[in-house]
A and B are shown apart, each in its own frame.
Chain A
Amino acid sequence: MAHAHEHVSNTKRIWMVFGILSVVTIIEVAFGIYKPAILHDTLFLQMNLLNWLFIGLTIYKAYYIVWAFMHLEGEKSNLRWSIVAPLVFLIIYLVFILLVEGNYVFDVFKSSQIKWNF
Protein backbone atom coordinates (compact mmCIF):
# COMPACT_ATOMS: atom_id res chain seq x y z
CA MET A 1 0.00 0.00 0.00
CA ALA A 2 1.19 3.43 -0.91
CA HIS A 3 0.44 4.77 2.50
CA ALA A 4 2.98 2.58 4.26
CA HIS A 5 5.38 5.42 3.52
CA GLU A 6 4.11 7.98 5.95
CA HIS A 7 4.89 11.19 4.17
CA VAL A 8 2.59 10.83 1.19
CA SER A 9 -0.27 13.30 1.42
CA ASN A 10 -3.74 11.92 0.88
CA THR A 11 -5.71 15.14 0.65
CA LYS A 12 -6.90 14.51 -2.87
CA ARG A 13 -8.43 11.19 -1.94
CA ILE A 14 -9.95 12.65 1.24
CA TRP A 15 -11.82 15.33 -0.71
CA MET A 16 -12.90 12.78 -3.27
CA VAL A 17 -14.37 10.57 -0.55
CA PHE A 18 -16.07 13.60 0.96
CA GLY A 19 -17.61 14.25 -2.46
CA ILE A 20 -18.85 10.67 -2.71
CA LEU A 21 -20.35 10.74 0.80
CA SER A 22 -22.06 14.06 0.11
CA VAL A 23 -23.51 12.94 -3.20
CA VAL A 24 -24.80 9.69 -1.69
CA THR A 25 -26.38 11.62 1.20
CA ILE A 26 -28.07 14.00 -1.23
CA ILE A 27 -29.41 11.05 -3.23
CA GLU A 28 -30.73 9.48 -0.02
CA VAL A 29 -32.44 12.69 1.05
CA ALA A 30 -33.96 13.20 -2.41
CA PHE A 31 -35.37 9.67 -2.41
CA GLY A 32 -36.51 10.16 1.18
CA ILE A 33 -38.50 13.24 0.21
CA TYR A 34 -39.97 12.11 -3.11
CA LYS A 35 -40.38 8.42 -2.29
CA PRO A 36 -41.03 7.14 -5.84
CA ALA A 37 -44.12 4.95 -5.76
CA ILE A 38 -42.55 2.19 -7.89
CA LEU A 39 -39.82 1.65 -5.32
CA HIS A 40 -41.97 2.33 -2.30
CA ASP A 41 -44.74 -0.12 -3.19
CA THR A 42 -42.68 -3.04 -4.44
CA LEU A 43 -41.79 -5.54 -1.79
CA PHE A 44 -38.71 -7.75 -1.79
CA LEU A 45 -38.21 -10.12 1.16
CA GLN A 46 -40.97 -8.29 3.06
CA MET A 47 -39.30 -4.91 2.70
CA ASN A 48 -39.91 -2.30 0.00
CA LEU A 49 -37.25 -1.61 -2.60
CA LEU A 50 -36.78 1.96 -1.37
CA ASN A 51 -35.66 0.70 2.02
CA TRP A 52 -33.32 -1.78 0.37
CA LEU A 53 -31.88 1.10 -1.62
CA PHE A 54 -31.37 3.17 1.55
CA ILE A 55 -29.66 0.29 3.31
CA GLY A 56 -27.46 -0.37 0.29
CA LEU A 57 -26.40 3.28 0.08
CA THR A 58 -25.75 3.35 3.82
CA ILE A 59 -23.42 0.38 3.59
CA TYR A 60 -21.73 2.02 0.62
CA LYS A 61 -21.14 5.13 2.76
CA ALA A 62 -19.98 3.02 5.70
CA TYR A 63 -17.48 1.29 3.41
CA TYR A 64 -15.92 4.64 2.44
CA ILE A 65 -15.81 5.92 6.00
CA VAL A 66 -14.12 2.80 7.29
CA TRP A 67 -11.84 2.18 4.33
CA ALA A 68 -10.76 5.74 3.52
CA PHE A 69 -11.27 7.82 6.67
CA MET A 70 -10.40 5.18 9.21
CA HIS A 71 -7.80 4.00 6.77
CA LEU A 72 -8.52 0.31 6.98
CA GLU A 73 -7.45 0.04 3.34
CA GLY A 74 -3.86 0.67 4.42
CA GLU A 75 -3.81 -1.93 7.18
CA LYS A 76 -2.73 -5.54 6.90
CA SER A 77 -5.39 -7.99 5.85
CA ASN A 78 -5.37 -9.97 9.10
CA LEU A 79 -6.27 -6.82 11.05
CA ARG A 80 -8.89 -5.93 8.47
CA TRP A 81 -10.51 -9.33 8.73
CA SER A 82 -10.39 -9.46 12.51
CA ILE A 83 -12.39 -6.22 12.55
CA VAL A 84 -14.79 -6.72 9.67
CA ALA A 85 -15.56 -10.46 9.90
CA PRO A 86 -16.97 -10.54 13.47
CA LEU A 87 -19.06 -7.44 12.80
CA VAL A 88 -20.49 -8.67 9.54
CA PHE A 89 -21.25 -12.12 10.89
CA LEU A 90 -22.72 -11.08 14.25
CA ILE A 91 -24.77 -8.19 12.92
CA ILE A 92 -26.34 -10.21 10.10
CA TYR A 93 -27.08 -13.00 12.57
CA LEU A 94 -28.63 -10.67 15.18
CA VAL A 95 -30.65 -8.66 12.70
CA PHE A 96 -31.94 -11.78 10.97
CA ILE A 97 -33.09 -13.37 14.22
CA LEU A 98 -34.68 -10.23 15.68
CA LEU A 99 -36.49 -9.16 12.54
CA VAL A 100 -37.91 -12.62 11.89
CA GLU A 101 -39.03 -12.80 15.51
CA GLY A 102 -40.50 -9.29 15.38
CA ASN A 103 -42.45 -10.24 12.31
CA TYR A 104 -43.69 -13.38 14.04
CA VAL A 105 -44.87 -11.43 17.10
CA PHE A 106 -46.64 -9.04 14.75
CA ASP A 107 -48.49 -11.97 13.17
CA VAL A 108 -49.44 -13.34 16.58
CA PHE A 109 -50.92 -9.99 17.60
CA LYS A 110 -52.71 -9.57 14.31
CA SER A 111 -54.33 -12.98 14.19
CA SER A 112 -54.99 -13.43 17.90
CA GLN A 113 -58.33 -13.03 19.63
CA ILE A 114 -56.96 -10.35 21.93
CA LYS A 115 -57.47 -6.79 20.80
CA TRP A 116 -54.26 -5.03 21.73
CA ASN A 117 -54.45 -1.75 19.86
CA PHE A 118 -57.73 0.11 20.17
Chain B
Amino acid sequence: MGINYGKMMMWFFIVSDALTFSGFLAAYGFSRYKFIETWPLADEVFNHFPFMHGVDAPMYYVALMTFILIFSSVTMVLAVDAGHQMKKQKVAIYMFLTIIGGGIFLGSQAWEWKNFIKGEYGAVETKGGSILQFVDATTGKRVKLSDVAIPLHEEREQLTRNKGFWFSKESTLPTYSVNEVVEGFKANPNILVRTEAIYHPSMAKNVGVHPELNKSTHKHKTILTREESLKRLADVHYVVEGANLIRNEYGQKLFANFFFFITGFHGFHVFTGVLINVLIFLNVVLGTYEKRRSYEMVEKVGLYWHFVDLVWVFVFTFFYLV
Protein backbone atom coordinates (compact mmCIF):
# COMPACT_ATOMS: atom_id res chain seq x y z
CA MET B 1 0.00 0.00 0.00
CA GLY B 2 2.99 2.26 -0.34
CA ILE B 3 3.27 2.82 3.37
CA ASN B 4 5.34 1.15 6.04
CA TYR B 5 4.09 -1.16 8.74
CA GLY B 6 3.97 1.25 11.69
CA LYS B 7 2.03 3.91 9.89
CA MET B 8 -0.40 1.42 8.41
CA MET B 9 -1.10 -0.07 11.83
CA MET B 10 -1.69 3.41 13.22
CA TRP B 11 -4.23 3.93 10.45
CA PHE B 12 -6.00 0.68 11.21
CA PHE B 13 -6.01 1.44 14.91
CA ILE B 14 -7.63 4.76 14.04
CA VAL B 15 -10.24 2.98 11.92
CA SER B 16 -11.18 0.73 14.83
CA ASP B 17 -11.18 3.61 17.29
CA ALA B 18 -13.34 5.64 14.93
CA LEU B 19 -15.83 2.78 14.90
CA THR B 20 -15.83 2.73 18.70
CA PHE B 21 -16.67 6.42 18.82
CA SER B 22 -19.27 5.96 16.10
CA GLY B 23 -20.87 3.29 18.24
CA PHE B 24 -21.05 5.67 21.20
CA LEU B 25 -22.42 8.52 19.15
CA ALA B 26 -24.93 6.26 17.41
CA ALA B 27 -26.09 4.98 20.82
CA TYR B 28 -26.45 8.60 21.89
CA GLY B 29 -28.51 9.23 18.76
CA PHE B 30 -30.68 6.22 19.56
CA SER B 31 -31.46 7.47 23.06
CA ARG B 32 -32.04 10.95 21.83
CA TYR B 33 -34.52 9.78 19.22
CA LYS B 34 -36.17 7.63 21.85
CA PHE B 35 -36.68 10.66 24.11
CA ILE B 36 -36.83 13.27 21.37
CA GLU B 37 -39.58 15.31 23.04
CA THR B 38 -37.89 15.62 26.40
CA TRP B 39 -34.17 15.83 25.62
CA PRO B 40 -32.40 18.80 27.30
CA LEU B 41 -31.56 21.77 25.06
CA ALA B 42 -27.80 22.23 24.79
CA ASP B 43 -28.07 26.03 24.71
CA GLU B 44 -29.55 26.02 28.20
CA VAL B 45 -27.03 23.60 29.65
CA PHE B 46 -23.72 24.79 28.22
CA ASN B 47 -23.98 28.56 28.54
CA HIS B 48 -21.04 29.47 30.74
CA PHE B 49 -17.98 31.49 29.82
CA PRO B 50 -15.00 32.26 32.07
CA PHE B 51 -15.21 35.61 33.89
CA MET B 52 -18.75 36.16 32.64
CA HIS B 53 -20.69 34.81 35.53
CA GLY B 54 -24.45 34.85 35.15
CA VAL B 55 -24.23 35.90 31.51
CA ASP B 56 -26.03 33.59 29.13
CA ALA B 57 -23.30 32.69 26.61
CA PRO B 58 -24.23 29.53 24.77
CA MET B 59 -21.75 27.98 22.31
CA TYR B 60 -18.91 30.48 22.77
CA TYR B 61 -16.90 28.46 25.21
CA VAL B 62 -17.15 25.22 23.32
CA ALA B 63 -16.34 27.07 20.08
CA LEU B 64 -13.20 28.33 21.79
CA MET B 65 -12.31 24.77 22.81
CA THR B 66 -12.81 23.67 19.21
CA PHE B 67 -10.45 26.39 18.02
CA ILE B 68 -7.82 25.39 20.55
CA LEU B 69 -7.95 21.79 19.37
CA ILE B 70 -7.94 22.70 15.66
CA PHE B 71 -5.02 25.01 16.25
CA SER B 72 -3.06 22.34 18.08
CA SER B 73 -3.78 20.14 15.06
CA VAL B 74 -2.24 22.82 12.87
CA THR B 75 0.92 23.02 14.97
CA MET B 76 1.10 19.22 14.87
CA VAL B 77 0.91 19.12 11.08
CA LEU B 78 3.50 21.90 10.95
CA ALA B 79 5.76 19.71 13.11
CA VAL B 80 5.28 16.84 10.68
CA ASP B 81 6.05 19.18 7.80
CA ALA B 82 9.21 20.44 9.50
CA GLY B 83 10.15 16.80 10.10
CA HIS B 84 10.00 16.13 6.37
CA GLN B 85 12.58 18.86 5.95
CA MET B 86 14.68 17.48 8.82
CA LYS B 87 14.51 20.71 10.82
CA LYS B 88 14.91 19.49 14.37
CA GLN B 89 14.51 22.88 16.03
CA LYS B 90 11.24 23.60 14.26
CA VAL B 91 9.82 20.14 14.96
CA ALA B 92 10.57 20.60 18.66
CA ILE B 93 8.92 24.02 18.82
CA TYR B 94 5.78 22.89 17.01
CA MET B 95 5.53 19.70 19.09
CA PHE B 96 5.82 21.82 22.21
CA LEU B 97 3.03 24.12 21.05
CA THR B 98 0.87 21.08 20.32
CA ILE B 99 1.40 19.79 23.85
CA ILE B 100 0.46 23.19 25.27
CA GLY B 101 -2.69 23.25 23.11
CA GLY B 102 -3.66 19.78 24.32
CA GLY B 103 -3.10 20.87 27.92
CA ILE B 104 -5.29 23.94 27.50
CA PHE B 105 -8.02 21.83 25.91
CA LEU B 106 -7.96 19.37 28.82
CA GLY B 107 -8.15 22.23 31.29
CA SER B 108 -11.10 23.70 29.41
CA GLN B 109 -12.86 20.39 29.46
CA ALA B 110 -12.30 20.11 33.21
CA TRP B 111 -13.91 23.52 33.64
CA GLU B 112 -16.83 22.50 31.44
CA TRP B 113 -17.31 19.36 33.53
CA LYS B 114 -17.12 21.38 36.74
CA ASN B 115 -19.94 23.64 35.59
CA PHE B 116 -21.97 20.70 34.40
CA ILE B 117 -21.55 18.77 37.66
CA LYS B 118 -22.16 21.78 39.88
CA GLY B 119 -25.21 22.95 37.97
CA GLU B 120 -26.68 26.37 38.30
CA TYR B 121 -30.41 26.49 38.95
CA GLY B 122 -31.28 23.18 40.51
CA ALA B 123 -34.51 21.27 39.96
CA VAL B 124 -36.82 18.72 41.54
CA GLU B 125 -37.56 15.19 40.43
CA THR B 126 -41.04 13.67 40.36
CA LYS B 127 -41.84 10.13 41.39
CA GLY B 128 -42.12 9.30 37.71
CA GLY B 129 -38.50 10.30 37.22
CA SER B 130 -38.97 13.50 35.24
CA ILE B 131 -37.39 16.83 36.11
CA LEU B 132 -39.31 19.99 37.03
CA GLN B 133 -37.54 23.34 36.86
CA PHE B 134 -38.63 26.75 38.12
CA VAL B 135 -39.20 29.92 36.14
CA ASP B 136 -40.26 33.46 36.91
CA ALA B 137 -43.95 33.98 36.15
CA THR B 138 -43.49 37.39 34.53
CA THR B 139 -40.31 36.91 32.48
CA GLY B 140 -40.24 33.16 31.97
CA LYS B 141 -36.54 33.17 33.00
CA ARG B 142 -35.10 30.40 35.14
CA VAL B 143 -35.16 30.77 38.92
CA LYS B 144 -32.65 29.17 41.26
CA LEU B 145 -33.64 26.74 44.00
CA SER B 146 -32.19 29.12 46.56
CA ASP B 147 -34.74 31.74 45.44
CA VAL B 148 -37.60 29.28 45.69
CA ALA B 149 -36.96 27.40 48.92
CA ILE B 150 -37.73 28.78 52.36
CA PRO B 151 -35.96 27.46 55.46
CA LEU B 152 -38.13 25.14 57.54
CA HIS B 153 -35.53 24.20 60.15
CA GLU B 154 -36.04 20.51 59.59
CA GLU B 155 -33.41 18.18 60.91
CA ARG B 156 -32.31 15.57 58.46
CA GLU B 157 -29.08 13.74 59.17
CA GLN B 158 -27.06 12.20 56.39
CA LEU B 159 -26.69 8.44 56.69
CA THR B 160 -23.01 7.61 56.79
CA ARG B 161 -21.23 4.27 56.92
CA ASN B 162 -20.39 4.47 60.61
CA LYS B 163 -24.01 5.18 61.57
CA GLY B 164 -25.64 2.82 59.12
CA PHE B 165 -26.97 -0.62 59.80
CA TRP B 166 -24.58 -2.94 58.03
CA PHE B 167 -22.42 -0.17 56.55
CA SER B 168 -25.17 1.31 54.45
CA LYS B 169 -24.86 4.98 53.48
CA GLU B 170 -26.39 7.60 51.21
CA SER B 171 -25.01 10.29 48.96
CA THR B 172 -24.64 13.90 50.07
CA LEU B 173 -27.96 15.47 50.91
CA PRO B 174 -29.22 18.31 48.70
CA THR B 175 -29.04 21.83 50.15
CA TYR B 176 -32.81 22.01 50.46
CA SER B 177 -35.38 19.40 51.37
CA VAL B 178 -38.35 18.64 49.15
CA ASN B 179 -40.61 20.28 51.72
CA GLU B 180 -38.61 23.49 51.78
CA VAL B 181 -38.85 23.79 48.01
CA VAL B 182 -42.53 22.92 47.79
CA GLU B 183 -43.51 25.22 50.68
CA GLY B 184 -41.40 28.00 49.21
CA PHE B 185 -43.16 27.53 45.90
CA LYS B 186 -46.57 27.72 47.53
CA ALA B 187 -45.61 30.90 49.35
CA ASN B 188 -44.38 32.67 46.22
CA PRO B 189 -47.07 33.16 43.53
CA ASN B 190 -44.53 34.58 41.08
CA ILE B 191 -42.92 31.23 40.28
CA LEU B 192 -44.05 28.59 37.81
CA VAL B 193 -42.93 25.09 36.93
CA ARG B 194 -41.28 24.21 33.64
CA THR B 195 -41.38 20.61 32.45
CA GLU B 196 -38.94 18.56 30.39
CA ALA B 197 -41.26 18.53 27.39
CA ILE B 198 -40.11 20.60 24.43
CA TYR B 199 -42.93 22.95 23.50
CA HIS B 200 -44.78 22.47 20.22
CA PRO B 201 -47.60 24.77 18.97
CA SER B 202 -49.96 21.79 18.94
CA MET B 203 -49.73 21.69 22.74
CA ALA B 204 -51.16 25.22 23.11
CA LYS B 205 -54.65 23.99 24.01
CA ASN B 206 -53.53 21.27 26.41
CA VAL B 207 -54.66 21.55 30.01
CA GLY B 208 -52.10 23.29 32.22
CA VAL B 209 -49.91 24.77 29.49
CA HIS B 210 -49.26 28.42 30.24
CA PRO B 211 -51.09 30.57 27.65
CA GLU B 212 -48.60 33.48 27.54
CA LEU B 213 -45.12 32.27 28.37
CA ASN B 214 -44.84 29.60 25.68
CA LYS B 215 -45.16 31.95 22.73
CA SER B 216 -41.46 32.15 21.85
CA THR B 217 -40.77 30.62 18.44
CA HIS B 218 -37.38 29.41 19.66
CA LYS B 219 -37.25 25.81 20.79
CA HIS B 220 -38.02 25.83 24.50
CA LYS B 221 -39.41 23.74 27.33
CA THR B 222 -43.08 23.92 28.26
CA ILE B 223 -44.04 26.27 31.09
CA LEU B 224 -47.12 25.32 33.12
CA THR B 225 -49.87 27.41 34.69
CA ARG B 226 -49.82 28.05 38.42
CA GLU B 227 -52.55 25.46 39.17
CA GLU B 228 -50.89 22.78 37.05
CA SER B 229 -47.52 23.63 38.63
CA LEU B 230 -48.91 23.03 42.11
CA LYS B 231 -50.45 19.76 40.96
CA ARG B 232 -47.14 18.53 39.54
CA LEU B 233 -45.24 19.55 42.65
CA ALA B 234 -47.39 17.23 44.75
CA ASP B 235 -45.57 14.37 43.03
CA VAL B 236 -42.05 15.54 43.84
CA HIS B 237 -39.78 13.23 45.80
CA TYR B 238 -36.22 14.49 45.34
CA VAL B 239 -34.24 17.71 45.00
CA VAL B 240 -31.62 17.62 42.25
CA GLU B 241 -28.63 19.94 42.16
CA GLY B 242 -26.14 19.65 39.33
CA ALA B 243 -25.44 16.37 37.63
CA ASN B 244 -24.14 12.91 38.38
CA LEU B 245 -24.54 9.49 36.80
CA ILE B 246 -27.92 8.90 38.44
CA ARG B 247 -29.79 12.14 37.86
CA ASN B 248 -29.18 15.65 36.62
CA GLU B 249 -30.99 18.95 36.90
CA TYR B 250 -31.06 19.45 33.12
CA GLY B 251 -33.64 16.78 32.40
CA GLN B 252 -33.48 13.34 30.87
CA LYS B 253 -31.12 11.15 32.96
CA LEU B 254 -29.35 9.59 29.99
CA PHE B 255 -28.24 13.01 28.82
CA ALA B 256 -25.67 13.36 31.61
CA ASN B 257 -24.54 9.75 31.25
CA PHE B 258 -23.82 10.18 27.56
CA PHE B 259 -22.18 13.53 28.16
CA PHE B 260 -19.85 12.13 30.81
CA PHE B 261 -19.08 8.99 28.89
CA ILE B 262 -18.47 10.39 25.42
CA THR B 263 -16.67 13.62 26.34
CA GLY B 264 -14.83 11.66 29.03
CA PHE B 265 -13.69 9.02 26.59
CA HIS B 266 -12.62 11.73 24.17
CA GLY B 267 -10.84 13.60 26.96
CA PHE B 268 -9.03 10.39 27.85
CA HIS B 269 -7.87 10.18 24.24
CA VAL B 270 -6.62 13.76 24.41
CA PHE B 271 -4.84 12.94 27.64
CA THR B 272 -3.05 9.90 26.19
CA GLY B 273 -2.34 11.97 23.06
CA VAL B 274 -0.61 14.60 25.18
CA LEU B 275 1.41 11.89 26.97
CA ILE B 276 2.54 10.34 23.69
CA ASN B 277 3.33 13.79 22.32
CA VAL B 278 5.51 14.47 25.36
CA LEU B 279 7.44 11.23 24.75
CA ILE B 280 7.97 12.03 21.09
CA PHE B 281 8.88 15.62 21.95
CA LEU B 282 11.58 14.36 24.31
CA ASN B 283 12.90 12.06 21.60
CA VAL B 284 12.99 14.95 19.15
CA VAL B 285 14.92 17.09 21.61
CA LEU B 286 17.32 14.24 22.39
CA GLY B 287 17.97 13.88 18.68
CA THR B 288 16.75 10.29 18.36
CA TYR B 289 15.04 10.95 15.03
CA GLU B 290 17.90 13.09 13.80
CA LYS B 291 20.14 10.04 14.23
CA ARG B 292 17.52 7.86 12.52
CA ARG B 293 17.43 10.36 9.65
CA SER B 294 13.64 10.09 9.76
CA TYR B 295 10.93 11.89 11.65
CA GLU B 296 8.29 9.31 10.86
CA MET B 297 7.42 8.80 14.53
CA VAL B 298 6.25 12.41 14.60
CA GLU B 299 4.01 11.58 11.66
CA LYS B 300 2.50 8.60 13.49
CA VAL B 301 1.62 10.52 16.65
CA GLY B 302 0.44 13.27 14.35
CA LEU B 303 -2.10 10.87 12.86
CA TYR B 304 -3.36 10.02 16.34
CA TRP B 305 -3.55 13.66 17.35
CA HIS B 306 -5.51 14.63 14.24
CA PHE B 307 -7.85 11.75 14.89
CA VAL B 308 -8.57 13.12 18.36
CA ASP B 309 -9.34 16.47 16.75
CA LEU B 310 -11.57 14.73 14.21
CA VAL B 311 -13.57 13.04 16.95
CA TRP B 312 -14.03 16.36 18.72
CA VAL B 313 -15.47 17.87 15.53
CA PHE B 314 -18.21 15.23 15.69
CA VAL B 315 -18.74 15.44 19.45
CA PHE B 316 -19.04 19.21 19.09
CA THR B 317 -21.73 18.82 16.44
CA PHE B 318 -23.81 16.19 18.18
CA PHE B 319 -23.64 17.50 21.74
CA TYR B 320 -23.71 21.23 21.22
CA LEU B 321 -25.12 22.06 17.80
CA VAL B 322 -27.70 19.49 16.79
Chain A interface main SS type: helix
Q: Is the CB of A70 within 8 A of B306?
A: yes
Contact A106-B35, Cβ < 8 Å, known A9-B81, A37-B217, A118-B128 = yes
Complex Cα distance A18/B84, Å? 20
Contacts of B58 in A (CB 8 A): 32-33
Q: Which residue of B is nearest A10, CB measured?
A: B81
Complex Cα distance A35/B94, Å? 37
Q: Is B226 an interface residue (CB 8 A)?
A: no
Contact A94-B130, Cβ < 8 Å, known A25-B63, A33-B59, A51-B322 = no
Q: Is the CB of B313 within 8 A of A62?
A: yes
Contact A7-B74, Cβ < 8 Å, known A66-B310, A70-B303, A70-B307 = no
Q: Which residue of B is nearest A84, CB measured?
A: B15
Contact A54-B81, Cβ < 8 Å, known A76-B1, A79-B8, A102-B30 = no
17 new A-B contacts, CB < 8 A, other than A99-B33, A117-B197, are A9-B84, A15-B74, A21-B70, A22-B70, A55-B322, A62-B310, A62-B314, A65-B313, A66-B306, A69-B76, A70-B307, A79-B11, A82-B1, A98-B26, A98-B33, A99-B26, A103-B33
Q: Is the CB of B85 within 8 A of A9?
A: yes
Q: Is the CB of A118 within 8 A of B70?
A: no
Would you mind naming 20 contact pairs between A and B with Cβ atoms under 8 Å apart? Answer: A11-B81, A25-B63, A25-B70, A32-B58, A58-B314, A66-B306, A69-B302, A75-B1, A75-B2, A76-B1, A86-B19, A87-B22, A90-B22, A91-B26, A98-B30, A102-B34, A116-B128, A117-B38, A117-B130, A118-B128
What mask results when residues 73 to 116 of chain A are scored 1 for a CB within 8 Å of chain B, else 0? Answer: 00110110011001100110011001101110110011000011
Complex Cα distance A70/B303, Å? 6
Q: Is the CB of A91 within 8 A of B219?
A: no
Interface residue ranges of A37-74 to B (CB < 8 Å): 37, 40, 51, 54-55, 57-58, 61-62, 65-66, 68-71
Contact A32-B70, Cβ < 8 Å, known A70-B306, A99-B33 = no
Complex Cα distance A92/B67, Å? 28
Contact A65-B59, Cβ < 8 Å, known A91-B22, A106-B35 = no
Q: Which residue of A is nearest B71, CB measured?
A: A18
- Shortest CB distance B80–A (Å): 8
Q: Is B31 an interface residue (CB 8 A)?
A: yes
Complex Cα distance A118/B43, Å? 24
Contacts of B76 in A (CB 8 A): 69
Complex Cα distance A79/B10, Å? 12
Complex Cα distance A38/B128, Å? 36
Complex Cα distance A82/B1, Å? 10
Q: Is B245 an interface residue (CB 8 A)?
A: no
- Shortest CB distance B75–A (Å): 10
What mask results when residues 16 to 60 of chain B are scored 1 for a CB within 8 Å of chain A, else 0? Answer: 001100110011011111111110000100000000000000111
Contacts of A11 in B (CB 8 A): 78, 81
Q: Is B235 an interface residue (CB 8 A)?
A: yes
- Shortest CB distance A89–B (Å): 11
Q: Which residue of A is nearest B313, CB measured?
A: A61
Q: Is the CB of B70 within 8 A of A58?
A: no
Q: Is B309 an interface residue (CB 8 A)?
A: yes
Contacts of A71 in B (CB 8 A): 80
- Shortest CB distance A6–B (Å): 5
- Shortest CB distance B128–A (Å): 4
